[in-house]
Amino acid sequence: MKIVKKILKWFLILLGAIVAFILVVLLVIRINSSGDEELFLDEKGNVLPNSIAMHEDMTINGVPQRITIRGKDKNNPVLLIVHGGPGAPILPIIYKLSGIDLEDIFTVCYWEQRGSGLAYNDSIPDSSITLAHIVDDGLELSNHLKKTFKKDKIYIEGLSWGTAVAAYMVQKQPELYHAYVGSGLMANLSLSEELSYEFAMSESQKHNDTISINQLKQIGRPPYVENSKNSVTEAFEIERQIVMKYAPIKLDPDFNFIKSMFLDNGLTFKEKFTDMINSPESYYPAAKILESTAIDMNLMRDIPELKVPVYILQGDNDHFTETSVAKAYFDSLIAPSKKWFLFENGTHGVQVEYPEKYRSIYINEILGK
């Protein structure tokens, strides 16, 4: 009986310690959840006079979308970041903590597209979440940035799915842009997926990874179809997880996405937990809604020419947007000027893998400083 009481006593002490730890963690997160963007300060702690650090849920073409704008000097050129996915917005703090911060040389606008992010709500009909609408939203936003910051043109960078969105935007209104930058170029997703699947199967067989081999056989070769075990979205996720096993994005060991998200003052406590953690389907419904659109995206077919300078940043081991397909499109693309930057041993996240090279390309090549 004494042993039982002793075990119960230590169990309660341990449980109390765990509860106390969780409460402390939640308190720390709560303290760092003001919802206000971190300001740019000088050495004396004063706000830099011409800086900007803000976010807003603005209505673009009748639909709420969130934009975050950050920069040390509003006189700098404007850069619009078009995120990937579809439906995968990027938190600005990721750029800062991974060393790819461009906010000292640009006024950077991080745009959460319709059907993605914290401005989304269930009142927005799924039928309005289309590529055509997203492209028009991006053009409306580009004009807004031009007028707000009194610029003749802005720069645009697309990431993965965003490379295609940005390309359609530039094709439609090239006069808005100084240059097009594509990272993880999604040139022809259908062809890319076939090669990606072959890579995943080949690596799994090479490593005698029977679990992955069986998973790949179960979902079948792309284009994926709905079956009794997996949806199309789930098939993509299964294949991507296997690709990540054999071509993982190489992150700095000190770089922790979860920690950075929870300690980002730009998000409120509700946004971190209720919106992003508890309601992922509401946070990025575009992922499922636009999957068929994404698989049909083919810049080789749709955009043979861009009338602005083009810069492509690609990892040589990118099996999300296959590098061979991206290079074939780059070689065929007609543009006033174009440059191809290959990142050796890079995968689908060259910005976070090689932040110094990424930044130097912007400074020395794109801006030409």
In 3D space, the residue among 239, 246, 276 whose CA is nearest the CA of residue 261 turns out to be 276
Query: Are 204 and 216 in contact, with CB atoms under 8 Å apart?
Result: yes
d(CA 132, CA 13) in angstroms, rounded, equals 58
220 Cβ neighbours under 8 A, 6+ residues apart:
227, 235
3-class DSSP string for the chain: CHHHHHHHHHHHHHHHHHHHHHHHHHHHHHHCCECCCCCCECCCCCECCCCEEEEEEEEECCEEEEEEEEECCCCCCEEEEECECCCECCCHHHHHHCCCCCCCCCEEEEEECCCCCCCCCCCCCHHHCCHHHHHHHHHHHHHHHHHHCCCCCEEEEEECHHHHHHHHHHHHCHHHEEEEEEECCCCEHHHHHHHHHHHHHHHHHHCCCHHHHHHHHHHCCCCCCCCCCCCHHHHHHHHHHHHHHHCCCCCCCCCCHHHHHHCCCCCEHHHHHHHCCCCHHHHCCHHHHCHHHHHCCEHHHHCCECCCCEEEEEECCCCCCCHHHHHHHHHHCECCCEEEEEECCCCCCHHHHCHHHHHHHHHHHHCCC
pLDDT at 287: 82
Query: Are 317 and 323 in contact, with CB atoms under 8 Å apart?
Result: yes
Q: Provide block-wise average pLDDT over 10 residues at a time, the chain (369 residues).
A: 66 67 59 68 87 91 91 95 86 67 92 84 85 96 97 96 97 98 94 95 95 92 74 85 89 59 64 54 73 89 97 96 96 97 93 90 89
244 Cβ neighbours under 8 A, 6+ residues apart:
none
Domains of the chain: 52-188+260-366 (3.40.50.1820), 193-246 (no CATH)
Q: Is the peptide bond before 355 cis (omega within 30 degrees of 0)?
A: no
Q: Which residues pair with 79 in a beta bridge?
A: 108, 155
Tokens 């914290």 belong to residue = 118
Q: What are phi and psi of 306, to 5 degrees?
A: -125, 135
